[in-house]
Amino acid sequence: MSDSFFEKLNSSVATSRVGKFFRLEGSGARRERIGSKFTTEMRAGLTTFVTMAYIISVNALIVTDSGGPCVCNNGGNTTDVGCFTDPAYSECLAILKLDLITATSAIACLSTFLMGVFANLPLGLAPGMGLNAYFTYTVVGFHGSNKISYETALAAVFIEGILFVILSLLGIRQWLARLIPQSIKVATGAGIGLFLMFIGVQSSAGIGLIGSDSATLVTLSGCVLDDTGACVDGTHMRSPTTWMGIFGFVIISVLLLYRVRGAVLVGILFISILSWFRNTTFTYFPYTEAGDAMFDYFKKVVTFHPIQSTLGKMNFQLDNSEVWVALITFLYVDIMDTTGTLYSMAKFGGYMYKNGDFDGSSAAFLCDATSISIGACFGLPPVTAFIESGAGITEGGKTGLASVFTAFLFFISLFFSPIFASFPPWATGPALIVVGSMMVKSVRSINWDYVGDAIPAFLTIAMMPLSYSIAYGLIAGVGAYAAINGTVYILELVSMGKFTPEDKDLREPWVNEAFTLATVLPGWVQKLICKVRGEVYIDPLDVMEEEERLEREAAARAEEKDTKIHMDGTNQLGGADEELPGQS
C-alpha cells in the first residue's frame, strides 16, 4: 500500500507544474530527466545535505582563525602574536564564530536554491574547503597576521564573483571548459573520486584512518589523539571513532549491495545518533572543556543567531599588490575547481551530452559566480559547488528539485544549527569513501591506448588527492597534455610529417565538436542574433537530445531484430530435431 501511495505521489507531482518545471520523468516536459521521481529527489536532497552539513561548523572554525573584523588590543605585547591575552578579542572571536555559522547556512541555502531553480542540477553549494583555508591562512593570516586585512580580502572575493558573472554571461567560462581535452574531463571524475576518498579517511572530515607522518607525509593512523592533535604512542588502529567510521562504511556498502533506498543516509544517521551519547568511548561530546561546550550548544536544539559583525564588511582600497595576487589566485583556482566539479558531477549523474557539455551549464556557472559575490557580502570566502553532491546523485538525484530540498534543509539549519553542526566526521566520512569508489569507475572511459591521452589523464587523477586540490590536478593534466601533444605537433610540422607516432590513429579527438559561433557564443547571444535576422532559434542541446533519442531507438530496434532472428533460428533447429526420429 505504501508503494502505491508513493507511486501516486510521484505521478501527481510529475504531471504538475512543479514536475514540468524540473522536467521529472513522466512530466511531458522538453528534455525530461529519465528516472527522476519526486520521492527520489527528496531523498537525494536530504543525503546531500547530511553529507555537506559538516561545512556549517568546519567553515566557521577555519574562517574564525582569520580574526575577521575583530581588533586586537594587547597593549603592544610583541610576543603575543595571536592576541591571546586580550579578553575582548576572545569575546569578539566567539561572536564571529556564531556569525559565520549563520552566514554559512544562509549562503548554502541561497546558492543551492539558485542552482536548483535556474540550472536544474542536483548540486549543493557552500564556501569551498581549501579556498577557505587559503583565504584564512595565506591571504589574511592567523588572527590577521598578514598584510591583507579581512575586509580587503572580502572585497577581492566580491570582485572575483563579478568577474565570474561577466565571463559566464559572455560564455567564456563555458568556452574555456570545452577547451579541456576529453580524456582529462573523464579523468577529472576519477580524480575527484580519489580526492573524496582521501578526505573521507582523514580526521578533519573523515574517519581518521590516515594521518600525517614526518618521514612519509602520510601513514596509517586510526590512533587516539592527544590535546595537540598528535597520536598517542601505541594507539595506532585503536581509535574507537575510526572503528565506528569503518562500521559505518560497512553498513553503507552492504545496504548498497542489497539496493536499499537511502543507504548512504541510513549509514550517516545511524553512526551520528550513536555518537551523540556521552557515556561511550566514541562520543562526539567527550567530558572535556571543548566537549562540554559542544554538548551545551547541542542541547539548545533550536536557536538563531543574527549576524552581527561580518555583514557587508568589505574594504575596496586595493592599494596592496598582494591583494591582486590573491584575486588572481582566487580566480584561476575557482575556475578550475568549479569546472572540474560541475563536469564530473554531470558525467557521474548521466546528463552529459556527447559534445562534452551538459544541460544547464551556463546557468550553473552564473549561479556559482553570483553566489561568490553574495557570500562575500556575508563575510565568507568563495562559494563553490560541492563534490559531496555525489552522495545525493548516488541516491538517484537527477534534477534541481533535490537541490531545492537541500536548500530548504540549510534554511532549517539556521534555526536547528546545534543539531546539524553536530554530525561527527566519522559518520560522514564513510559516505565520502563510498561515493569516491563509485566515481572512480569513469577510468574505464579513458583512452589508455595512446600515451598522449593516458599520461595527462593519469596525472589529473593522481594530483587531485596528492595536492589536495581539484584545480591543481586539472592544471597538471592540461599542462602535461599541452607539453606532450604540443611537442609531437611541432616535430611533425618541422619534419614535414616524418616524425609521427606509429599509434597516432589511436589518439582521442581533442574536443567532440568544432568551434563555431553556434558552439562558442552563449545561448542568449545566439537568440539575439536569430531575432535580429528574423530566424527561429534552435537549441543545440535539443538537437543532440533528439539525435541521442533516435540512436537509442535504433539500438533497441536492432536488439529486438537480433533477438527475433535468434528465436527463429532456435525454433527451426528445434523443429528439425523433432523430425529426426520420424526419418529413421
Q: What's the DSSP call for residue 261? A: T
- For the ranges 288-292, 311-315, 334-338, 513-517, the maximum mean pLDDT occurs at 311-315
- What size, in residues, is the chain? 584
pLDDT of residue 582: 46
Per-residue pLDDT, averaged over 422-426, amounts to: 85
pLDDT tens figures, 90-115: 888 878 888 998 999 999 999 999 99
- How far apart are alpha carbons 354 and 577 in whole angstroms? 48
Question: Is residue 183 within 8 Å of 350, Cβ to Cβ?
Answer: no
Mean pLDDT for the chain? 83
Of the listed ranges 13-17, 144-148, 194-198, 395-399, the one predicted with least confidence: 144-148
CA-wise closest residue to 132 among 341, 413, 334, 290: 334
Beta strand 217-220 with 210-213 is antiparallel
Q: Look at the block and give the residue holding cell 568589505.
A: 314
**What are the C-alpha distances in Å from 291 to residues 288, 303, 345?**
5, 19, 36
C-alpha dihedral (253, 125, 123, 464), degrees to nearest 10: -60
Residue 399 has pLDDT above 80, yes or no: yes
Tens digits of per-residue pLDDT, 3-57? 688 888 888 888 899 989 998 988 888 778 888 899 999 999 998 998 888 788 7
Cell of 290: 571543548
Cβ pair 426, 271 in contact under 8 A: yes
Measure the CA–CA gap between 369 and 335, rounded to whole angstroms. Answer: 10
CA distances to 140, 233, 406, 473, 476 from 389, rounded to whole Å, are: 29, 37, 10, 20, 24
Is the pLDDT confidence value at 63 over 70?
yes
The residue whose grid cell reads 571513532 is: 241
**Nearest Cα residue to 271 out of 250, 245, 252:** 245
546 φ, ψ (degrees, to nearest 5) = -70, -40
Listed residue (359, 254, 375, 232) closest to 310, CA to CA:
375
Cβ atoms of residues 111 and 121 within 8 Å:
no
